[in-house]
């Protein structure tokens, strides 16, 4: 009885042509959405528990769910190179990597423009340059490595920008007014969930309060 065919975990399974240094670099770039999801949002939740960041992450999850629905409905094939990449059993339109990165970039840009959590940063263009650069590189990497066509990555980018802008509006015009309710809920109190978007300089606020608390403890000990 023949063994069943094997399938790789596509989350981190990125291939490039052996000896291609640019391909090697772009393969790592292609993993940026994974690093952001696991290294960024998960770590931020563990140590910060900020509502804005939690809803940012929720928006990305919803965006990826929409991406899967569209892919399943349209069922557009990947380019012919999918055979070498062992990816022909999945669909290519729109690119989920491009959609993720452009959703992320437009949301970061809108947070910066509105000054939410970043009101004390003077060179806001520098903050926005980094995610947009990664977004463009990720889009390019998916075409260069043979996972998508140009049309597929541009479709993902356009959908990411649209969904990112829409979700930002929903969070800041609809959900935001419920932030105090979430903070005071059993869930919020149990997990120490908070919103600090009303504080102009969160780092200075926490620094000053940490020093004041330490000084108060020292005074009581004496």
**pLDDT tens digits for 134-150?**
899 999 998 888 888 99
Question: What is the per-residue pLDDT across 69-102, written as a single tens digit (0 to 9) for each?
Answer: 999 998 888 887 877 776 777 888 899 889 999 9
* 3-state SS class at 107: helix
Indicate the DSSP class of residue 122.
S
Residue, of 183 and 221, whose pLDDT is higher: 183
- Please give the Cα distance from 107 to 113 (Å, whole number): 10
Highest mean pLDDT among 3-7, 160-164, 185-189, 190-194: 160-164
Task: Tell me how far apart the alpha carbons of residues 95 and 91 are, in angstroms, rounded to a whole number.
Answer: 9
Nearest-angstrom CA–CA distance, 66 and 47: 29
Structure tokens at 106: 């437009």
pLDDT of 48 reads 81
Kindly report the pTM of this predicted structure: 0.84
Higher pLDDT, 49 or 89: 49
Residue 11's Cβ-count burial label (10 Å; 0-12, 13-18, 19+) is exposed
Report the DSSP beta bridge partners of residue 77: 91
């Amino acid at each position: 009885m023949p063994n069943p065919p094997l399938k790789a975990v596509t989350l981190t399974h990125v291939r490039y042509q052996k000896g291609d240094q640019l391909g090697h670099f772009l393969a790592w770039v292609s993993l940026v959405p994974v690093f952001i999801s696991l290294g960024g949002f998960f770590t931020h939740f563990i140590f910060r528990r900020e509502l804005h960041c939690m809803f940012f992450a929720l928006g990305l999850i919803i965006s990826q769910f929409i991406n899967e629905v569209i892919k399943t409905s349209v069922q557009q094939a990947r380019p012919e190179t999918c055979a070498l990449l062992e990816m022909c059993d999945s669909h290519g339109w729109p690119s989920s990597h491009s959609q993720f990165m452009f959703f992320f970039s437009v949301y970061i840009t809108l947070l910066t423009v509105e000054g939410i959590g970043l009101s004390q940063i003077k060179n806001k263009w520098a903050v926005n340059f980094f995610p947009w650069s990664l977004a463009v590189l990720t889009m390019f990497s998916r075409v260069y490595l043979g996972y998508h066509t140009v049309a597929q990555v541009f479709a993902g980018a356009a959908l990411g920008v649209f969904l990112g802008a829409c979700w930002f509006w929903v969070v800041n015009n609809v959900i935001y007014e419920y932030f105090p309710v979430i903070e005071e809920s059993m869930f919020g109190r149990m997990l120490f969930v908070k919103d600090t978007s009303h504080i102009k300089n969160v780092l200075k606020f926490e620094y000053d309060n940490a020093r004041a608390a330490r000084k108060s403890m020292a005074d009581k000990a004496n």
